[in-house]
Amino acid sequence: MERIKVMIVDDDQIVLNGLITMLAWGNYGFEVVATAINGKQGINRFMVHCPEVVFTDIRMPVMDGLDMLREIRKVDEFARFYILSAFGEFDYAKQAIELGANAYILKEDLSPASLSSLLDQIKSDLETRSNIAFNMINDTVMSFIQGGDTPLASAVARIGRLLSQHMDLQEEYGTDALLRKLGDVIEKEYLQQGKIALYSPPEVRGPVPPGVWISDQLRRIDSWRGDAFSNLPRLISNAMFYIKENYSKKDLSIGDVAEHVWISEGRLSVLFKQETGKTMKEYITELRLEHAKKLLRQGQLRIYEIADKVGFASAEYFTRVFTRTVGVAPQNYRKDET
């Protein structure tokens, strides 16, 4: 288990040193990775060290603790902030809570006992957040793969931030477990795209950082979509990919496609018709008939075998649909093409 990273920001060197030496942080699973003497310096060091926990004074020169908190919250919604306040600064403390600080602490109340108790509570809270982060990363990847509206850059940035801030706090929800789970999801997507030969599984504890491996996979998947359906929204193109890979299944339904792209069946039907000019049923039938034509031209399979291979429930139904759509019966189409 990695230690939880802490940054302390205070312009009073005595307070700063006192907090650092008040107890053995490592014994509680924490490490002070950075200190700063004003908010501006605190922002710069936060970006470098990505601490999970920040203890900060309010009143400081150059930039105060409130402005620092406000700026950091623009790029990180999860880091925990604990405001160190002097007696009589409750109005500032109230503003800090409104900006997203987790609590304020009176400096005169700080002691080894109170700090150790607080660290135990923080650790418990962060372990809970590790579980939440695990699920948020998984949901972000699943949503992106299944046609969500999150742009690639936003998905990659969100995953990177969550990984740097919240993973490896407990084994059950650490990066090893995450990579195993996402590896299964991404491998399935490669298989559906017909790209399985290109897939390389993640190496748990390997040389490639988890965030790099995940973002590389999402970029590759995104590039395939762009090549095939560059003018269509991601959700619709992903629905079309899914249909293309599963058209031969007799039980393929619009509900199956909707479930794959995480949207209601009714909403997907409306969007699909708007973007493609045809219903999903028409698209599925069209795809099946195009493949049936190829098999008919090859002349190696019987009519009932072709019907079965492209997903029709029976040879009779296939013949009826083919004749109505193409204008000629399957057996005559074969004769005309040979």
Give, for all 338 residues of the chain, the pLDDT tens digit: 578 899 999 998 988 999 999 999 999 889 999 999 999 999 999 998 889 899 998 889 999 888 998 898 887 777 889 988 876 666 777 777 777 787 888 888 888 999 999 898 888 877 777 777 788 888 888 878 776 556 777 788 888 877 766 555 445 556 777 888 888 888 888 887 778 888 888 886 677 778 888 888 888 887 776 555 445 676 787 788 788 878 889 999 999 888 877 788 888 899 889 888 889 999 999 999 988 988 888 888 899 999 999 999 999 999 999 999 888 888 888 665 54
Distance CA 137, CA 3 (A): 21
**What integer pLDDT is reported at residue 133 of this predicted model?**
77
Neighbours of 28 (CB within 10 A): 17
Sole residue written with tokens 């620092």? 68
The 10s digit of each residue's pLDDT in 168-184 is 544 555 677 788 888 88
**What integer pLDDT is reported at residue 21 of this predicted model?**
92
Sole residue written with tokens 């105060």? 64
Both structure tokens of 262: 């995480």
The 10s digit of each residue's pLDDT in 303-316 is 999 999 999 999 99
Give the right CATH number for 4-110 from 3.30.565.10, 3.50.50.60, 3.40.50.2300, 3.40.190.10. Answer: 3.40.50.2300
**What integer pLDDT is reported at residue 336 of this predicted model?**
59
Both structure tokens of 287: 């795809």
Both structure tokens of 82: 């604990």
**What integer pLDDT is reported at residue 230 of this predicted model?**
47
**What integer pLDDT is reported at residue 88 of this predicted model?**
60
Q: Output b/e per residue, 213-235; b: 16+ Cβ within 10 A.
A: bbbebbebbbebbeeebeebebb
Domain with CATH 1.10.10.60 in the chain: 230-338
Q: Which residues contact 322 (CB under 8 A, 6 or more apart)?
A: 289, 292, 329, 330, 333
For residue 78, CA distances in Å to 82, 158, 195, 330 come to: 13, 11, 36, 62
CATH fold of the domain at 230-338: Arc Repressor Mutant, subunit A (1.10.10)
**What integer pLDDT is reported at residue 150 of this predicted model?**
66
**What integer pLDDT is reported at residue 89 of this predicted model?**
63
Domain with CATH 3.40.50.2300 in the chain: 4-110
Total-model pTM: 0.46
Asked if residues 193 and 224 have their Cβ atoms less than 8 Å apart, the reply is yes
Distance CA 285, CA 247 (A): 8
